[in-house]
């Protein structure tokens, strides 16, 4: 890298807009959405989708609720053309869905595009040509006036062929490609020249798409460009101002959201952000950003996982685990403090403690998009007692007392640290079982009977101690008090039960019960134990033995 990059690079010139209004606005409704997965997303694939794959993804986009879908570049290849024809011939598109086709300002390509759209119910014909200084100089070697002529000729070729789409409701769209790198005054000039040909009206609007084809500045600059156009272009009420951002500076979402504040009506992008270079705008992210603020995005992501599976199968791409909303790990906490806060927040929500969602670290309820709470907290060496307890409870119904969580949490974390990886709920349960339930030395239960008389419980216990038989009796105001008394008669150092809880591990007559018991020894040592049995009394006795075995 250069020590002085200013010798090679220069900052992008800002737009002069001292009275900009967009910073004081808030978003209150969803824009018109247009998916370009089947065109812009497809052209960015190392192996483009075949017709069957495009059909499956198209159907998924329709199911999600997209009403405008750029289905391809039909003049680019036979596959693209065949896909358009199949959609139309087989009536694959619902009556309220617009099929958008992209075409350059070349007459032969426009001709092929019209052939591909014959018979469509609703069609958007999307004309574009490049307008930035670099494109004018390097690619076309044309002056501004000549670039305007290219756009106007293309618009006229389209206008002349419109009668051929009899029975089709047509909307026209123009994009000054590389708009964000184009002088706003010149972008306005080109757009108005196209408007002179197409003559849009408030009743029959045209789409003016203003692409951030390559991000060259901060998103606030793009917002200024959009607001400048909205305020200065003529016949604004005859236009649908559309955004199409890419992610070269990793701010495609921000640029889109600020562009909407600046006055845009429509957004083009792809689900999960697939596109050239660093990708297109991720529509899922923008839509769910609106959703988390209580705004209906007009798209249905209630089964986002299924949508993701179709996307990955059709495109061959993978969604990163940290992709907003869709990634495998975005609703997952490994950090102990995060897990504790999430666990408490979810408990408050499930109790009905709040009207509006306000769970720490979770911007939306994962169940709204088809995710499960058990995915939220996962355990590795960075996790704390809260995460361990949450997994045991959510997956197996093991509700550890808070004090016991403090004891078992570090034990589990040490075991996970030695493994050096994330562990599953089943592995955590196995650790708990080994530590508490399966402790059978030195004490092991052989038999336990009780009888009650005049409010006093008498017990008789048959045990093994280091594989040697031990029998004793004891009495107290309950079975456990009688057991503790019996141990004292057998010469075991005194201890007391300081905490006790139990619950069922299932339902029905054969359901097991689990008991948790904390014992305190005469020297001040405290240990927890746990026992499982279909008989709650025996589960409690086993829990006492577990605590003694762990001492």
Domain containing residue 530: CATH number: 3.30.160.270
Q: Clarify whether residues 427 and 297 are in a common domain.
A: no
Query: Residue 339: what pLDDT?
Result: 78
Q: β-strand 513-521 against 526-533: which pairing, if any? A: antiparallel
Does the pLDDT of residue 143 top 90, yes or no? yes
Integer Cα distance of 150 and 123 in angstroms: 23
Contact 191, 224 (CB under 8 A): no
Query: Residue 246: what pLDDT?
Result: 96
The average pLDDT across 144-148 equals 96
Which of 411, 435, 459 marks a domain boundary? 435
The average pLDDT across 394-401 equals 89
Q: Clarify whether residues 202 and 260 are in a common domain.
A: yes
Query: Residue 338: what pLDDT?
Result: 83
Q: Clarify whether residues 350 and 293 are in a common domain.
A: no
Q: What is the mean pLDDT of the chain?
A: 93
The average pLDDT across 361-382 equals 78
Q: Clarify whether residues 394 and 473 are in a common domain.
A: no
Question: What are phi and psi for residue 65, nearest 5 degrees?
Answer: 115, 10
Q: Clarify whether residues 428 and 470 are in a common domain.
A: no
Residue length of the chain = 551
Integer Cα distance of 322 and 89 in angstroms: 40
Query: Residue 158: what pLDDT?
Result: 98
What would the pLDDT profile of 213-228 be if each residue is shown by its tens digit?
999 999 999 999 999 9
Between residues 479 and 374, which one has the greater pLDDT?
Answer: 479
Which of 280, 315, 350 marks a domain boundary? 315
The average pLDDT across 475-493 equals 92
Does the pLDDT of residue 3 top 80, yes or no? yes
User: pLDDT band at 381, cuts 50/70/90?
Assistant: low
Q: Clarify whether residues 310 and 258 are in a common domain.
A: yes
Query: Residue 328: what pLDDT?
Result: 85
Query: Residue 373: what pLDDT?
Result: 64
The average pLDDT across 306-326 equals 94
Which of 419, 435, 451 marks a domain boundary? 435
DSSP assignment of 367-395: GGGT--GGGTB-BSTT--HHHHHHHHHHH
Total domains present in the chain: 3
User: Closest Cα to residue 331, out of 296, 388, 375, 293?
Assistant: 375
Query: Token pair of 411, please?
Result: 């034990």
User: pLDDT band at 340, cuts 50/70/90?
Assistant: confident
Query: Residue 417: what pLDDT?
Result: 81
Does the pLDDT of residue 140 top 80, yes or no? yes
Query: Residue 385: what pLDDT?
Result: 65
Counts for the chain of helices (H) and strands (E), in that order: 17, 14
Would residue 331 count as lying in a domain?
A: no
Q: Clarify whether residues 453 and 533 are in a common domain.
A: yes
What would the pLDDT profile of 254-300 be if each residue is shown by its tens digit?
999 999 999 999 999 999 999 999 999 999 999 999 999 999 999 99
Would residue 22 count as lying in a domain?
A: no
Please tell me the pTM assigned to this model.
0.76
Kindly state the percentage of the chain with pLDDT values over 90. 80
Would residue 326 count as lying in a domain?
A: no
Q: Clarify whether residues 57 and 141 are in a common domain.
A: yes
- Domain assignment of residue 490, given as a range: 443-549
Would residue 13 count as lying in a domain?
A: no
| Residues contacting 84, CB < 8 A, separation 6+ | 71, 72, 74, 99, 101, 116, 117
Would residue 320 count as lying in a domain?
A: no
86-100, 151-165, 483-497: least confident range: 483-497
Between residues 272 and 338, which one has the greater pLDDT?
Answer: 272
What would the pLDDT profile of 15-37 be if each residue is shown by its tens digit?
999 999 999 999 999 999 999 99
Query: Residue 138: what pLDDT?
Result: 94
Between residues 510 and 483, which one has the greater pLDDT?
Answer: 483
| Residues contacting 516, CB < 8 A, separation 6+ | 400, 401, 404, 499, 500, 501, 502, 528, 529, 530, 543
CATH code of 61's domain: 3.20.20.70
Would residue 237 count as lying in a domain?
A: yes
Query: Residue 321: what pLDDT?
Result: 87
Query: Residue 390: what pLDDT?
Result: 78
Query: Residue 376: what pLDDT?
Result: 64
Query: Residue 329: what pLDDT?
Result: 83
The average pLDDT across 40-61 equals 94
Residue with tokens 């574009």: 128
Query: Residue 170: what pLDDT?
Result: 98
Would residue 120 count as lying in a domain?
A: yes
Does the pLDDT of residue 330 top 60, yes or no? yes
User: pLDDT band at 508, cuts 50/70/90?
Assistant: low
The average pLDDT across 78-106 equals 95
Q: Clarify whether residues 536 and 396 are in a common domain.
A: no
Q: Clarify whether residues 475 and 538 are in a common domain.
A: yes
Q: Clarify whether residues 486 and 389 are in a common domain.
A: no
Q: Clarify whether residues 431 and 455 are in a common domain.
A: no
Would residue 365 count as lying in a domain?
A: yes
């Amino acid at each position: 890298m250069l020590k002085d990059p200013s010798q090679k690079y220069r900052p992008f010139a800002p737009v002069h807009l001292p009275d900009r209004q967009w910073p004081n606005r808030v978003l209150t409704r969803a824009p018109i959405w247009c998916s370009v997965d089947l065109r812009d997303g497809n052209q960015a694939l190392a192996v483009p989708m075949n017709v069957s794959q495009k059909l499956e993804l198209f159907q998924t986009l329709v199911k999600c609720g997209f009403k405008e879908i750029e289905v391809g570049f039909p003049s680019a290849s036979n596959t693209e053309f065949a896909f358009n024809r199949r959609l139309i011939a087989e009536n694959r598109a619902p009556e309220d869905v617009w099929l958008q086709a992209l075409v350059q300002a070349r007459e032969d390509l426009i001709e092929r595009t019209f052939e591909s759209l014959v018979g469509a119910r609703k069609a958007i014909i999307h004309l574009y040509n490049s307008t930035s200084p670099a494109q004018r100089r390097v690619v076309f070697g044309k002056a501004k006036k000549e670039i305007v002529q290219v756009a106007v000729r293309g618009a006229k070729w389209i206008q002349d062929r419109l009668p051929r789409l009899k029975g089709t409701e047509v909307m026209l769209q123009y994009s000054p490609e590389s708009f964000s790198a184009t002088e706003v005054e010149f972008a306005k000039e080109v757009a108005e020249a196209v408007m002179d040909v197409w003559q849009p009206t408030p009743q029959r609007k045209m789409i003016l798409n203003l692409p951030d084809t390559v991000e060259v500045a901060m998103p606030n600059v793009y917002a200024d460009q959009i607001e400048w156009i909205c305020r200065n272009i003529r016949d604004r009420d005859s236009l649908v101002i559309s955004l199409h951002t890419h992610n070269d500076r990793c701010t495609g979402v921000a640029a889109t959201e600020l562009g909407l504040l600046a006055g845009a009506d429509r957004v083009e992008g792809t689900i999960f952000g697939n596109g050239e270079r660093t990708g297109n705008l991720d529509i899922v992210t923008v839509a769910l950003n609106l959703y988390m603020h209580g705004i209906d995005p007009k798209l249905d992501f209630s089964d986002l996982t299924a949508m993701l599976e179709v996307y990955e199968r059709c495109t061959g791409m993978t969604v990163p685990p940290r992709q907003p909303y869709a990634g495998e790990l975005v609703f997952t906490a490994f950090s102990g403090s995060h897990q504790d806060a999430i666990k408490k927040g979810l408990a408050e929500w499930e109790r009905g403690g709040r009207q509006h969602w306000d769970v720490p670290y979770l911007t939306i309820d994962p169940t709204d998009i088809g995710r499960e709470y058990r995915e939220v907290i996962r355990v590795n060496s960075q996790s704390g007692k809260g995460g361990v307890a949450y997994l045991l409870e959510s997956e197996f119904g093991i509700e550890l007392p808070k004090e016991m969580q403090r004891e078992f949490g570090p034990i589990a974390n040490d075991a996970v640290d030695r493994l050096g990886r994330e562990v599953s709920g089943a592995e955590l349960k196995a650790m708990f079982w080994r530590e508490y339930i399966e402790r059978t030395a030195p004490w092991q239960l052989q038999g336990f009977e009780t009888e009650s008389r005049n409010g006093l419980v008498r017990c008789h216990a048959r045990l093994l101690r280091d594989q040697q038989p031990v029998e004793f009796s004891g009495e107290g105001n309950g079975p456990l008090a009688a057991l503790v008394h019996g141990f004292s008669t057998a010469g075991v150092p005194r201890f007391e039960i300081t905490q006790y809880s139990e619950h069922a591990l299932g339902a029905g007559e054969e359901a097991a019960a689990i008991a948790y018991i904390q014992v305190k020894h005469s020297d001040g040592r405290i240990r927890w134990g746990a026992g499982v049995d279909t008989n709650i009394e025996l589960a409690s006795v086993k829990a006492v033995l577990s605590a003694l075995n762990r001492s």
